Amino acid sequence: MSANLVAVFFVAGGLFAAGVLAAAWRRDVSSALAGIPLILAGAGVAFVGVARFAGAGTPHLFGQEFAVLLAVAATALLALGLGIAGREGTR
């Protein structure tokens, strides 16, 4: 059994929706920033899925390269959120 593009989009949509829910549910900024990496992970899964099922003439690494870029951005955003949370704790 192999995954098709619709299944990949369902997983990506679920990650994106969980990230939006986590970001909207939290009251303070540092906790709301925790949902943003889930949003970026959903976008990364979608890009990798589209690159995997793309036509024959396109390079398959484009989606994976973009997913790595999104993972780096999510890590930087997580570090920013941790810095803000640590700064709020000292006040």
Q: Specify the pLDDT at position 80.
A: 83
CA distance 4 to 70: 22
The three-state (H, E, C) secondary structure of 39-59, written as one string: HHHHHHHHHHHHHHCCCCCCC
pTM: 0.77
Q: Specify the pLDDT at position 1.
A: 64
Q: Specify the pLDDT at position 27.
A: 80
* 33: nearest Cα among 68, 91, 71, 83: 83
Q: Residue ranges of the domains in the chain?
A: 5-89
The three-state (H, E, C) secondary structure of 5-43, written as one string: HHHHHHHHHHHHHHHHHHHHHCCCHHHHHHHHHHHHHHH
Written as tens digits, the pLDDT of the chain (91 aa) is: 677 889 999 999 999 999 999 889 888 777 788 888 889 899 989 988 888 887 666 666 777 788 888 889 888 888 887 787 777 666 5
Fold of 5-89: Helix Hairpins (1.10.287)
Q: Specify the pLDDT at position 89.
A: 62
